[in-house]
């Protein structure tokens, strides 16, 4: 069976641009430079610590969409309180929470706007087999994809709307989880590179091209450096969108 991403998503919305900047000014200038060629933006920990809610609100007021990628992980009461802060900023589309059952349950219970989708983070794409060995030890070693599947199932069982996972696990997740959870859960894939053999992986290990990710079942593609460092980012964006 060939697995493909959801056809319900507008191709123009599939690219989530990672705003990997350390200042509000630089981030807003970049948004202005490429909006509305891209309308979906990821605000991660670095930028959020630099700007607070300023960039998030700037995107929303501009008419764009936000993936707030803060990867919440704490005791349930603290996670719930954090989600209540997110509730005050209407227009955030995706929120990342580490894929632990109690953490996901707390986040889902605390959200007030059902248009805010909770994503369970399975395993960071910077993790490879050697990292797993260090994490669990030789006697308890499991493959990264097995841990991803376990955390994905736990996340969806706890009420998450979707998952963050690399394209390398997307096909397995679609096949293994669709029976109990259907095919409508959202799958967001970071670690996207324009060439499968990209030398510049930075800190990513489990990477894929846009075509590979979509073919494996990913819905949204988080792309940062290939666009940010391009001489003509608009041309790069248009070339990617042509494949979606």
The residues annotated with a catalytic role in the active site are: 71
Cα–Cα distance measured from residue 163 to residue 92, given in angstroms and rounded to the nearest whole number: 16
For residue 95, give both structure tokens.
Answer: 């929120």
Task: Decide if 143 contacts 87 (C-beta within 8 A).
Answer: no
Task: Report, in this order, helix, strand and coil percent for the chain, each rounded to 5.
Answer: 45, 15, 35
Task: Decide if 112 contacts 168 (C-beta within 8 A).
Answer: no
In the 8-state DSSP scheme, what is residue 114? T
Estimate to the nearest angstrom the gap between the alpha carbon of 48 and the chain centroid. 16
Q: Which of 80, 169, 145, 88 is nearest to 118 (CA)?
A: 80
- Cis amide leading into 167 (omega within 30): no
- In angstroms, the Cα distances linking 97 to 141, 199, 229 are 24, 30, 29
Task: Decide if 164 contacts 179 (C-beta within 8 A).
Answer: no
Residue 42's SS3 state is: strand
Residues 6+ apart with CB under 8 A from 174: 3, 183, 187, 216, 217
């Amino acid at each position: 069976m060939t697995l493909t991403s959801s056809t319900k998503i507008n191709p123009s919305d599939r690219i989530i641009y990672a705003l990997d900047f350390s200042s509000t000014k630089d981030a807003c200038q970049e948004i202005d430079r490429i909006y509305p060629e891209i309308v979906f933006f990821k605000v991660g920990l670095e930028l959020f610590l630099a700007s607070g809610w300023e960039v998030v609100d700037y995107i929303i007021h501009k008419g764009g969409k936000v993936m707030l990628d803060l990867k919440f992980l704490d005791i349930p009461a603290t996670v719930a309180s954090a989600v209540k802060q997110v509730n005050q900023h209407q227009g955030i589309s995706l929120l990342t929470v580490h894929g632990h059952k109690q953490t996901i349950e707390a986040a889902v219970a605390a959200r007030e706007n059902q248009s805010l989708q909770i994503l369970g983070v399975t395993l960071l794409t910077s993790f490879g087999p050697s990292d797993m060995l260090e994490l669990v030890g030789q006697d308890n070693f499991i493959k990264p994809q097995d841990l991803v599947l376990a955390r994905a199932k736990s996340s969806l069982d706890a009420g998450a709307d979707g998952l963050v996972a690399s394209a390398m696990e997307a096909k397995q997740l679609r096949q293994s989880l669709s029976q109990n959870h259907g095919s409508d859960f959202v799958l967001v894939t970071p670690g996207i590179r324009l060439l499968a053999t990209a030398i510049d992986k930075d800190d990513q290990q489990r990477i894929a091209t846009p075509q590979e990710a979509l073919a494996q079942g990913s819905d949204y593609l988080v792309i940062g450096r290939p666009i940010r460092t391009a001489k003509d980012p608009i041309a790069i964006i248009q070339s990617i969108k042509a494949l979606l």
